[in-house]
Amino acid sequence: MCGIAGILSRPRGQPPQARELSAMIGRLAHRGPDGNGIHLDGPAGLAHARLAIIDLAGGAQPLANETGSVWVTFNGEIFNFVELRADLVARGHAFRTQSDTEVIVHLYEDHGERFVEHLNGQFAIAVWDRERERLVLARDRAGIRPLFWTEAADRFLFASEAKALFALPEVPRRLDRRSLAQACTFWSALPPGTAFEGVQSLPPGHVMVVTAEGRRLERYWDWTFPSAHEAAPADDRPLADALRELLIDATRLQLRADVPVGAYLSGGLDSAIVATIVRRFTGAPLRTFSLTFEDEEFDESGFQREMVAFLGTDHTSIRCTRADIAAAFPRAVFHAEAPIVRTAPTPLMLLAGHVRAEGYKVVLTGEGADEVFGGYDIFKEAKVRRFWARSPGSASRPRILERLYPYLRHSPAAGRAFTQAFFKEGLEHANEPWFAHAPRWTTTRRIHQFFSPALRESLAGWDPYAEIAGRIPAAAAGWVPMGRDQYVEAHTLMSGYLLCSQGDRVAMAHSIEGRFPFLDHRVIEFANRLPPQLKLHGLQEKYLLKKSMAGLLPESIRARTKQPYRAPDSQSFFVAGRPVDYVADLLSPARLADAGHFDPVAVGKLVAKCAAGRAIGFADNMAFVAILSTMLLEEQFVRGGEGGKGAPACAPGLLAA
């Protein structure tokens, strides 16, 4: 995994300079501490910060084809590069390295911008075609690796992270109010928007071609689902067997590396499957890592120990306290470069630091299984609510919701009257593509009540549901309802938050490359073709996935109800009823008023509620974390004037890795 950056000057723009590219890639040293390189070619300049994973001695970038007419700077891994290389050699291409990167330039020679369709991997790619004078940007199908761009002073600029763009003084640094409203609704900004005005993201599964005349954006891949008329087969065992073989192959591919590969072991089903496949079906050594918490509500160490004993893995874990979260949170926000509504990314950043300290650069995780195979309670909610919507006056149908969220101390389904009032909202919209997500977004959108009057006024008329509906393909009207639910989940929470703020960004803060076998596009396509009954069987989540692993996992793990990864939120930032110092400063009335995003009086009441330990629900906790993270962004990227030049300090020793 690496960091990339570059400049393409238009006719009236200044040609890129080495010092500019050095400044940009210097901001990404955490993504690539093993070396960097720059290539200048007239109007184009490419830069690269390397994290050496494959071809440790010879894989330096930017890298060219045989003639120097095609150059690439690349962040990610091409897992099928061995097979691609053999085919390219057979067709007459000459290779100078053993790197997966080199297949990109040769595929581009043969296929042009459609080269990306041949890749199995996770990537953000920039190809400079010197003869055609065009820059081609591409991002992987699921959105695992980030890629940002902007235009300033008649030049097109791109980078793995926004902070590299801010290395150039002509790029303004202002928070984007519409994106803030989106993050405080959907948990992240919707692409191409980002936290910053004028900075845009390349959406997952897209290619952008940039020339002196302009730019063109095209989608090359997307999630799609069957119609509502397809039924589950009478015998689903062949499908379970096929799924297991596909997961084994995906995991084998993602073990390709010239450095040791570890794995996260959370205690849940998904990471257990990945670790089990490594142990039983590959010859790779199994080194595992996990998080534990001082708060029993969040801790899964018992299940972790069970899997460690079952697999006999070499394992270590780190214990995360509330004080750890408070101390490390500013750095997590700095790397996320986005408002975040939960603290959960922070412990994962600390875990990545531990992994790096243990001498590892790569870890496999179970991320993506819930989105691909229907593991979240949101899918169960939607199924029950659609059942309820067919008889909205029923008193018995909504009681099924009380079976959800058994792992929560303060469950939204704990009280019958509250449950029915909460989940009944929007019941009349059962056929809308966003139906499943309305309860979650309603809760998150309560953050808007803390917005300043000026911010609220700027959002007048904004309809989040209309915005989402406008992003759903027309074909979705014929999909099974669960397919629409999964599509929205994959294009909002998964790509915008889980793979970004809670994935790539906090792992790469410590130069750790995460790999995700469940997000192999072949696995996604296989799962998307399945009838929904094979994902959500009654209220049993991930039915076929669990069946595919029968006899391979402890039954207590295989049959375990999904418990999402969570961490302590607002309670992490108070000691004996007082906020930690930087929180008190950032959330003071003067600082809030100066920034202009939030109402100081409303926020003051929320802080007092959190200090008294009375913020026990999702809405209050998300509001507190969202406000604090936004104020940190303002401080780190706007008010500080350095544009993200360096990571903020944290408690001594916490992030030493």
What one-character-per-residue DSSP string does 30-92 give?
TT-BT-EEEEEETTEEEEEEB---SSTTT--SSEE-TTSSEEEEEEEEETTHHHHHHHHHHTT
Separation CA 45–CA 628 (nearest Å):
37
Contact 127, 64 (CB under 8 A): no
Q: Which residues contact 477 (CB under 8 A, 6 or more apart)?
A: none
pLDDT score recorded for residue 656: 29
Q: pLDDT tens for residues 43-60?
A: 999 999 999 999 998 989
Give the three-class secondary structure for 548.
Answer: helix
User: In terms of pLDDT, which residue wins out, 393 or 528?
Assistant: 528
pLDDT grade, residue 657 (50/70/90)?
very low
Among this protein's residues, is 184 annotated catalytic? no
DSSP 438-479: HHHHHHHGGGGGGB-HHHHHHTTT--HHHHHHTTS-GGGGGB
Separation CA 142–CA 520 (nearest Å):
9
Whole-angstrom CA distances from 243 to 66, 254, 281, 535 are: 40, 16, 14, 12
Q: pLDDT tens for residues 502-556?
A: 999 999 999 999 999 999 999 999 999 999 999 999 999 999 999 999 999 999 9
Give the three-class secondary structure for 148.
Answer: strand
Q: What is the mean pLDDT of residues 104-116?
A: 98
Domain 238-372+491-558 -> CATH class: alpha beta
Q: In this model, does residue 415 exceed pLDDT 60?
A: no
Q: In this model, does residue 174 exceed pLDDT 50?
A: yes
pLDDT score recorded for residue 400: 79
Counting residues of the chain whose pLDDT is more than 70, the rounded percentage is 95
Whole-angstrom CA distances from 370 to 278, 323, 330 are: 20, 30, 29
How long is the chain? 657
Q: In this model, does residue 405 exceed pLDDT 80?
A: no
Q: In this model, does residue 418 exceed pLDDT 90?
A: no
The alpha-helical segments, DSSP class H, found in 318-452 are: 322-336, 345-357, 369-373, 377-389, 416-424, 438-444
Q: What is the mean pLDDT of residues 387-396?
A: 83
Separation CA 332–CA 506 (nearest Å):
6
Domain ranges in the chain are 3-219, 238-372+491-558, 382-449+457-475
Q: How much is the pTM?
A: 0.95
pLDDT grade, residue 410 (50/70/90)?
low
Hey, CA dihedral for 568, 570, 572, 576, is it positive or negative?
negative
pLDDT score recorded for residue 617: 87
Q: In this model, does residue 649 exceed pLDDT 80?
A: no
Compute and round to an integer the Cα radius of gyration of the chain. Answer: 24
The residue whose two tokens read 């149908």 is 397
pLDDT grade, residue 1 (50/70/90)?
low
pLDDT score recorded for residue 414: 55
Residue 349 falls in which region: left (phi positive, over 0), alpha (psi -120 to 50) or beta: alpha
CATH topology of domain 3-219: Glutamine Phosphoribosylpyrophosphate, subunit 1, domain 1 (3.60.20)
Neighbours of 559 (CB within 10 A): 11
Q: What angle do CA 336, 339, 345 make, to 5 degrees?
A: 50
Q: What is the mean pLDDT of residues 550-564?
A: 91
Q: pLDDT tens for residues 437-485?
A: 999 999 999 999 999 999 999 999 999 999 999 999 999 999 999 999 9
pLDDT score recorded for residue 89: 97
pLDDT grade, residue 392 (50/70/90)?
confident
Count how many Cα atoms sit within 13 Å of the Cα of residue 274 in the half-sphere of its side chain: 32
Q: What is the mean pLDDT of residues 318-331?
A: 98
Q: What is the mean pLDDT of residues 61-85?
A: 97
Mean predicted lDDT score pLDDT of the chain: 93
Q: What is the mean pLDDT of residues 410-436?
A: 74
* Long-range interactions of 397-402: CB distance < 8 A, separation 24+: 398/423, 398/424, 400/539
Q: In this model, does residue 646 exceed pLDDT 90?
A: no
Question: Among 96-110, 306-320, 385-399, 465-479, where is mean pLDDT lowest?
Answer: 385-399
Q: pLDDT tens for residues 592-608?
A: 999 999 999 999 999 99
pLDDT score recorded for residue 655: 32
The residue whose two tokens read 């809308």 is 432
Q: 287-293 and 36-41: which strand pairing?
A: unpaired
Separation CA 522–CA 526 (nearest Å):
6
Contact 450, 439 (CB under 8 A): no
Q: What is the mean pLDDT of residues 565-572?
A: 95
Q: Which of 620, 572, 563 is nearest to 408 (CA)?
A: 563
pLDDT score recorded for residue 391: 83
Structure tokens at 302: 């018992």
Q: What is the mean pLDDT of residues 163-185?
A: 97
Whole-angstrom CA distances from 478 to 126, 428, 534, 537 are: 36, 19, 19, 21
pLDDT score recorded for residue 409: 58
Residue 530 is given by DSSP the state S
pLDDT score recorded for residue 474: 94
Q: pLDDT tens for residues 210-239?
A: 999 999 999 999 999 988 777 788 899 999
Contact 534, 240 (CB under 8 A): no
The CA dihedral of 513, 514, 518, 522, to the nearest 10 degrees, is -20
Q: Which of 626, 20, 74 is nearest to 336 (CA)?
A: 626
Residue 406 is given by DSSP the state T
Structure tokens at 400: 């099924």
Q: What is the mean pLDDT of residues 422-431?
A: 82
Asked, as a colleague might, if the bond just before 453 is cis with ω within 30 of 0, I would say no
